[in-house]
Structure 1
Amino acid sequence: MSNHYGVKLSKLIDEFGLEVLRGAKNYQERVIATEDVNRPGLQLTGFFDYFDPERLQVIGLVEITYLSGLSEEERRRRFQMLLEQEIPALIIARGMEPFPECMELAEQYDRTILRCNIPTTEFISNIVTSLHNHLAPRITRHGVLVEVYGEGVLLMGDSGVGKSETAIELVKRGHRLIADDAVEIRRLNNRDLVGTAPELIRHYMELRGIGVVDVRRLFGMSAVKEESNIDMIINLEPWREDAVYDRLGVEENFMKVLEVDVPVTTVPVKPGRNLAVIIEVAAMNNRHKKMGYNSALEFTKQIDSHFDQALNGNG
C-alpha cells in the first residue's frame, strides 16, 4: 500500500544500524514512500513483470547461495538486470559479503548497497513494521492527549474550555501527558489510532495566565510519554441548563477518526466540577467496557429485574 507520506532512507539506516557499503548520490535524502519490501529472487532469474522499483530490495542466504552457483559473467548479468532499475537500495542480510560484480554494477549505475547482521526474514518483518508506522495515514487535531490508567484519552473542546488545566491536574495525579494543543494521529490498522505531539512542541503545555511550561522538567520524565493509543475521546463543553445529558451512560457514541470509530463522551464543564476525577472514572469505565463489563447495562438490568419482580408480586 502506498500513500503520500514518506521516510528518508537515512532515518531507516540509523534506526536499523545498517552498514553503508556504497552510497548513491544524495542517498540519505532518498524518500521511501511504499511500505512493501521486495526479496528479488524472481528478478535475479530474469522475471521483472509487476516489479516495483520503488521498494527496498533485500537479499539473504537463499539468493546468495543461488548466485554462488552461477558463473562470474552470469552473476554480472543478473545484477545488471536488477541494478539498472532505479531501486532506492539493495540490502544484504546476515552480514554476508557482497559479490564483486554487485559492487561493480552498483558503482556503474550509482546504486546504494547496505548491509545488516540479522536474519533475512527477521529484518524484513522489522522493517515492514517500521515502514507501516512511518507511512501510516495521519491527521492533526486540536486537543490534549493524556494517558490515564493506561487508556489514551483525547480531550477535545473549544479553546478556553479547560483542556490544558484538566491535563495538568491529571499529570499531578500521576498520569502522563502525550500532547497539548496539537495532536498528530496515525492510523496503524483498521482499529488502532496512535497519537503523538509535533516535535517542536513536545512536552510543552500552555496554561493561560502562566504561559508555556515544560512538563517534563517540572514533573519529571514519568509525567510524559512519546506516544499513546487513542482509546476514547472526551469532549469538554460549557454546561448548558437547557441541554439534556446522558445520566445512565447506556447509549454509546462514537466519532470517526481516520475511518476508525472511537468511543466519545461529552462532559459538561462548570465551576465546582472536578474534571480530573471525572476523566479518571471515565477512563476506568472505558477499560471495563473493553473487557466486557458495562456498568450502565448491569444497572438497567437490575432495575428491570426489580420492576418485574414487583409486578409479578402484585399480580
Structure 2
Amino acid sequence: MKSVTVQDLVERFSLEVLAGSHKLNAVIPKGRVHRPGLEFVGYFDFFPHAHVQVLGSKEITYLHTLSEEERNLHIGNIVKYHPPCFVVTRNQEGLKYLKKYCEEEGIPLLRTPLPSSRFIELVDAYLTKALAQEIAVHGVCVNVSGIGILLRGKSGVGKSETAHTLIRRGHRLVADDIVVLKKIGPETILGTHNGKTKEFLALRSIGLINVSRLYGRKAFQDETRIVLDIELTKWQDHALNNELELEPKFTEYMDIRIPHIEIQLQPGRDVAGLVEAAANNWYLRQQGYSAAEDFMKRLQSDD
C-alpha cells in the first residue's frame, strides 16, 4: 500500500496553498474526507482527525458569525489534533484567522473552486484507490463487454494471445504480464497496470505492441472491477467436464472470493470465444438466469 501526501493532493486537484506550505509532505493516512461540524461546538469524542478536513460554505459561514474569542477557541480546539490538512471549497474568502492557526501549527490550508459535494466525491474516490491494499499477480487483465476478467496461466500458455484476439473483437486490455489488484471494498477488487506496462501487450514471435496506437484508444482502459478469474491450462484428455452446470469454484485475493473457471487449450479451440461466453454467462447469472435450470424446466414441461 503506497502512501499519499498533501503534496500529492495539491498536484492532483490543482489546490491553492494558503498556509503551511512547509508541511506539504505530511502523510494522509485515511481514505475518506471529513467535514467538521460537531467539532466546532466542542464535541470531539468521534473526531476522525487523521482524515482530510473539508470546510464548505456552512462551516466557513458559521465561523464568520462567531466572535473573535469564540472563533479562536473553536479553531484552536480542532488544530491541536493536527489533521493532515484543511481544504476550503468554493474559493471562499476571509480566512485570515484560519491562516494564522494553520501557520502556527504547521497544518496546510488549501483552497479549491469546486463545491464541497463534488470535491469530496473526487477526493474520496482518489484516496480509496490510492490507499487501497494491493498485490501484484502474473497474468493479463481484460475488460470483456464491461466485465473485468483476470486471465492466468503458466508462462507461454497463451494469455497475451487470447487477450489480443479479444481486443480485435472490440474488447479492452487493462494490463499485461503484471496485474495490480487493489482491494477497494469488502467485496470489490480493481485490476489495473503498474504504470510501466500501460497499453503494452507482449506477443510471442511479434514482440511488444502498443494496443492504443495499433487499434485505437478504445482498445485500452485504465482499470476494471475483477469479477472472473479464468485460468488457461494445457489440454488434458478426459479432464473436461460436460455437466449441465459445474460446481462453483473460487480464487481468493486479499480475502475476497472471485469466481474461478478453468479453460483448457487445444489447437483450433476458440479460447477467446469461450472467455466471451464465460463473461456473458456470468452476467446472466447476476440477472438471476441459469441456462441449466431453464433447460431442466423445459424437460420437465415435456413430461
TM-score (norm 1): 0.86
Q: Is the 8 A contact 1:249 1:296 kept in 2?
A: yes
- C-alpha change, 1:59 and 1:295, in structure 2 (3 Å) is same
Q: Is the 8 A contact 2:23 2:108 kept in 1?
A: no
Q: Distance in 1 between matches of 2:59 and 2:284?
A: 50
The partner residue of 1:208 within 204, 208, 216 is: 204
Partner of 2:80: 84
The partner residue of 1:22 within 14, 19, 24 is: 19
Amino acid aligned to 2:8: K
Q: Distance in 1 between matches of 2:70 and 2:297?
A: 76
Partner of 2:21, secondary structure, is: coil
Partner of 1:189: 185
Q: Distance in 2 between matches of 1:58 and 1:134?
A: 19
Counting only pairs closer than 5 Å after superposition, residues 104-183 of structure 1 correspond to structure 2 as 104-183=100-179
Q: Is the 8 A contact 1:250 1:297 kept in 2?
A: no
Amino acid aligned to 2:138: H
Q: Distance in 1 between matches of 2:74 and 2:186?
A: 40
Query: Per-residue deviation at 1:225?
Result: 0.9
Query: Per-residue deviation at 1:87?
Result: 1.8
Amino acid aligned to 2:12: E
Counting only pairs closer than 5 Å after superposition, residues 68-79 of structure 1 correspond to structure 2 as 68-79=64-75
- CA offsets, 1:88-124, max 9 Å, x none? 1111123211432221222222221111233334433
Query: Per-residue deviation at 1:141?
Result: 1.6
Amino acid aligned to 2:16: E
Q: Is the 8 A contact 2:23 2:107 kept in 1?
A: no
TM-score (norm 2): 0.90
**Which piece of structure 1 moves more, 44-53 or 136-145?**
44-53
**Which piece of structure 1 moves more, 78-87 or 203-212?**
78-87
- C-alpha change, 1:227 and 1:36, in structure 2 (3 Å) is closer
Q: Distance in 1 between matches of 2:48 and 2:92?
A: 25
Q: Greater Rg, structure 1 or structure 2? A: 1
- CA offsets, 1:255-295, max 9 Å, x none? 22233332221111112212112222222222222222221
User: Cα RMSD (Å) of the superposition?
Assistant: 2.3
Query: Per-residue deviation at 1:5?
Result: 4.5
- CA offsets, 1:172-191, max 9 Å, x none? 22211111111111223233
Over the matched positions of the two proteins, sequence identity in percent amounts to 36
Matched pairs, number: 303
Q: Is the 8 A contact 1:250 1:296 kept in 2?
A: no
**Which piece of structure 1 moves more, 156-165 or 85-94?**
85-94
The partner residue of 2:215 within 203, 219, 236 is: 219
Partner of 1:312: none
* Unpaired segments ≥5 residues, structure 1: 310-315
Partner of 1:230, secondary structure, is: strand
The partner residue of 1:228 within 218, 224, 229 is: 224
Q: Is the 8 A contact 2:56 2:88 kept in 1?
A: yes
